[in-house]
Structure 1
Amino acid sequence: MRLSYKYWIPILVPLVVLLLPLAAFPFDGLTVLQQRVIAIFLLAALCWVLEPIPIYATSVVIIMLELLLLSNKGLIFLRSDANQAHFGTLMDYHDIMATFASPIIMLFLGGFFLAMAATKYRLDVNLARVLLKPFGHNPKFVMLGLMLITAIFSMFMSNTATTAMMLSILTPVMAVFAPKDPGKVAFALSIPVAANIGGIGTPIGTPPNAIALKYLVGENLISFGEWMMFGVPFVVVMMALAWMLLNWLYPADQQNIQLSIKGKFLKTPKAYMVYATFAVTILLWLMGDLHGMNSYTVALIPVAVFSLTGIINKEDLKKISWDVLWLVSGGIALGLALDQTGLASLVVHSIPFDQYSPYVVLFSAALLCLLMANFMSHTATANLLMPIMAALGASMTSLAPLGGEVTMILVVTFAASLGMSLPISTPPNALAHATGHVQSQQMVKVGATLGIVGVLLSFVMVWILHSLGHIG
């Protein structure tokens, strides 16, 4: 059987890299371990782009290869030269394995428990029913209501689950429109757009945010509430722009829409427990400075409460998006290898970035991330770029007046979530495209416009917050 290029290229390229002499690389002082990290990085990049295997499987392969090739408990004949200067310092295998249980993973696990409990006890649908009432029957404002609710849910739930739920609510509305009414396109696009943008608002809203937190430590530490301080205003402005753009490009001919969502809040003891835990967890996340717990510690409260009370049982645990957690852990492990072997710093210092304007560097980094995020998983994009960008932000002295490392990380993180120009860009886009109401070129027109505008807006907002002393 003849293997497709998507299988042999990810195998051949890293092997060639491993076989090259150190002198063949354009980096002075490259070590053997750094050469192996380059091979692992290329393997990860090619597998995440070409997807010969599931992207979460790539993450597991990364961790396995790091344990074999880079750790102090790897294959003995691959670390026999460990005392030689050109070899490098072996990584502790504890650190590599710990990526499976990183605080970032625990933060996301807490978010998954909240989202699962909210769906199981219909908190999401009932909140949507209540929150949509004030928006009346004008198509413009009904769409605004749908977008705002989708964005709010996406801050605390999976963007994909939120989109699936909101599109199901939207189904009877689409039947009201005439077959060629442009309003159908606007409504169908409004949900994935709002889900993609809304996830930016909180650290648990989307995996790239969690990956960014891994690098926002020490003096650059950003709490849950501080993230929302700039994330939520960014979401609000982007939502307003998206709403105006959709109404301008695809104005509805239909003048009146009746949106009916049936249901009522459950009044069982377990339902009240879900409501209370949801509210308490969010409040604790927002008020970290008052009680002293960080967001990772708080995230385990709903996990413990819902497990103890049986709200989330062992059958529910099977439905958790474990693939997302594995994908994020693989990215953390890749960043760890780039950092601890010194490869990220070596690459950054080999290129004279300080000779360029910091604005050019920031904009180029954001555009690269935006472009990649349109063609591959947002999480994979963040996994690949974040360690390099963190090292670049820390090393560029000219970036210091603009917020340095924090600015670089945040701008690239926002760009990763704004890649939404194609049906393949994000699961919400794929779900919306599957409805049959949206053409690919219509999605490109809206997604590309919002992506570029969003990158520019992120520069402005991060610069303002840095000037006010809130970040950086």
Structure 2
Amino acid sequence: MIKPYLKYILPVILPLIILLLPASSFGIEGLTFVEQRVIAIFVMAALCWVLEPIPIYATSVLIIVFELLLISDNGLWFATNGDPQLQGLLLPQSTIMATFASPIIMLFLGGFFLAMAATKYRLDVNLARVLLRPFGHRPKNVMLGIMMITAVFSMFMSNTATTAMMLSILTPVLVLFPKEDLGKVAFALSVPVAANIGGIATPIGTPPNAVALKYLVDQYSVSFAQWMAIGVPFVIVMLLIAWLLLNYLFPAERKEITLDIEGQFLKTPRAYLVYGTFVSTILLWLLGGVHGMSSYVVAMLPVAVFSTFKIIGKEDLKNISWDVLWLVSGGIALGVAMDKSGLASNAINAIPFDSFHPLLLIVGASILCLLMANFMSNTATANLLLPLVAALGASMQSLIPYGGHVVLILAVTFSASLGMSLPVSTPPNALAYASGHIKNTQMLKVGGIIGCIGLLITFAMLFLLNKLGLVGV
């Protein structure tokens, strides 16, 4: 157990030591002063995200500020010690500041606007009511319906908001189960598990997906529809496995349950505008190859519509998850610094990766990501690993015969969302655990099994899709 005071000291002391060490001590040939400072910023970020002496979104803000101060062309006066030749190594301040308004941030902002409007006009609850009706009253079938609806909502809404909504729907049902009935545990776990898995299906489903998009550009570009073509089948398979696992581990003794969800679809002009905008945005995301607009451009349409017609007002803007946007932007800034400074490629070149089998690298990086994501924010995990993984994949195209760059990034990204073994692993887990119906050991067992199975399915799926020429070509 780390001493409490060390979590405040280590993120300060270690980066300072790195800054003071001679460049030759890092074992990277030709290490520049900019790269050395990026290493210090990376270590500071990693320690802050793991130890959490400050909020994780605040760490992202610090990353951007320290980059502006230490490695930008308009930073502190001692950045180059007055040497004009060193000035050329610095990053443009506009490049660093642009991470606050990256197209990926705008994509997430559009998703938040859709989610807020759907919640405000009760589209989510009414859809849940209608879609759960066909699943009857048998606990096993009702739980499958809940998991499906939760996963679908998590594709386009915040996983945390989806979990909170679905748990509120389940609350009156859970109290009907006898104390010793394990079915209550299955129902309580089904919501966070489905929310965590469902977010994998779309680029806006979970922040790690947005971080991955930063590295899936140019010849490696993956559109919204292409991502869903990969993510949705994966989510369907994982949901089925999770449902079978929960029923096997926690069988319900109660033979019948009833979900009483009240409400009806609103029929006001603004409500119809919300419904139409929601459907239109999703269709435009899926049909990007037809109309030519990128998913980032499409994401701005609901922002414009809902703002113009006062569906989302000034007070609603305060409820946007700005911390998530800042967290993602910090990860993007860290990746930009590692890439533009040359540190990522130099670090990869300094390690003899060509002596390892390429598939071993894919498996090793994914397992590392899964382990880290269980103990810290999956977004922070993706922010730390994906810049290195992207540089590794790009440098090994000739060595990885299975479309290394795209496969490697997708495998690691999916792994980040599969880390769900502990209450601290994801916000949906924390909400479900707070309900009081789940024990730590029960969550650990389910999350561990799903994580391991999910990794195997990820590898098999990406390998098959690449062989069919659909990924990594």
Give the TM bin, normalised by the shorter chain.
Answer: over 0.9
SS of alignment partner, residue 204 of structure 1: coil
Residue of structure 2 in register with 1:423 after alignment: 423
* 2:229 partner letter: M
TM-score by length of 1: 0.98
Question: 2:456 and 2:338 mapped to 1: Cα distance?
Answer: 29
Give the conservation status (yes or no) of the 8 Å contact 2:137–2:257.
Answer: yes
Q: Does 396-405 or 364-373 show the bigger shift?
A: 396-405
Residue of structure 2 in register with 1:296 after alignment: 296
Question: 1:174 and 1:451 mapped to 2: Cα distance?
Answer: 26
Could you give the per-residue CA deviations for residues 366-420 of structure 1, whole angstroms, max 9, x where no partner exists?
Answer: 0100011011111110000000000011112465321111000000000001100
Give the conservation status (yes or no) of the 8 Å contact 2:183–2:253.
Answer: yes
Task: Give the CA deviation at 1:352.
Answer: 1.2
* 1:15 partner letter: L
**1:170 correspondence with 2:170:** yes
* 1:19 partner letter: L
**1:245 correspondence with 2:245:** yes
Residue segments in structure 2 that go unaligned for 5+ positions in a row: none
* 1:210 partner letter: A
Give the conservation status (yes or no) of the 8 Å contact 1:144–1:243.
Answer: yes
Residue of structure 2 in register with 1:41 after alignment: 42
Residue of structure 2 in register with 1:73 after alignment: 74
Task: Give the CA deviation at 1:182.
Answer: 0.6
Give the conservation status (yes or no) of the 8 Å contact 2:397–2:403.
Answer: no
Task: Give the CA deviation at 1:77.
Answer: 1.8
Task: Give the CA deviation at 1:80.
Answer: 2.6
Question: 1:317 and 1:84 mapped to 2: Cα distance?
Answer: 45
Residue segments in structure 1 that go unaligned for 5+ positions in a row: none
Residue of structure 1 in register with 2:144 after alignment: 144
Question: 1:453 and 1:428 mapped to 2: Cα distance?
Answer: 20
Task: Give the CA deviation at 1:27.
Answer: 1.1
Residue of structure 1 in register with 2:207 after alignment: 207
Question: 1:241 and 1:370 mapped to 2: Cα distance?
Answer: 18
SS of alignment partner, residue 17 of structure 2: helix
Aligned length: 470
Question: 1:360 and 1:17 mapped to 2: Cα distance?
Answer: 30
Question: 1:425 and 1:398 mapped to 2: Cα distance?
Answer: 36
Q: Percent identity?
A: 67
Residue of structure 2 in register with 1:132 after alignment: 132
Residue of structure 2 in register with 1:341 after alignment: 341
Could you give the per-residue CA deviations for residues 237-273 of structure 1, whole angstroms, max 9, x where no partner exists?
Answer: 0000000000010010111111111000000110000
Task: Give the CA deviation at 1:84.
Answer: 4.9
Task: Give the CA deviation at 1:83.
Answer: 4.4
**1:157 correspondence with 2:157:** yes
Question: 2:398 and 2:240 mapped to 1: Cα distance?
Answer: 33
* 1:69 partner letter: L
Question: 1:321 and 1:302 mapped to 2: Cα distance?
Answer: 17
Residue of structure 1 in register with 2:59 after alignment: 58
Task: Give the CA deviation at 1:81.
Answer: 5.4
Question: 2:179 and 2:229 mapped to 1: Cα distance?
Answer: 42
TM-score by length of 2: 0.98
Task: Give the CA deviation at 1:88.
Answer: 7.0
Give the conservation status (yes or no) of the 8 Å contact 2:189–2:438.
Answer: yes
Question: 2:376 and 2:348 mapped to 1: Cα distance?
Answer: 24
Cα RMSD of the aligned pairs, angstroms, is 1.2
Question: 1:445 and 1:166 mapped to 2: Cα distance?
Answer: 22
Residue of structure 2 in register with 1:285 after alignment: 285
Give the conservation status (yes or no) of the 8 Å contact 1:110–1:303.
Answer: yes
Change in 2 beyond 3 A, CA 1:70/1:5: same
Question: 1:191 and 1:88 mapped to 2: Cα distance?
Answer: 52
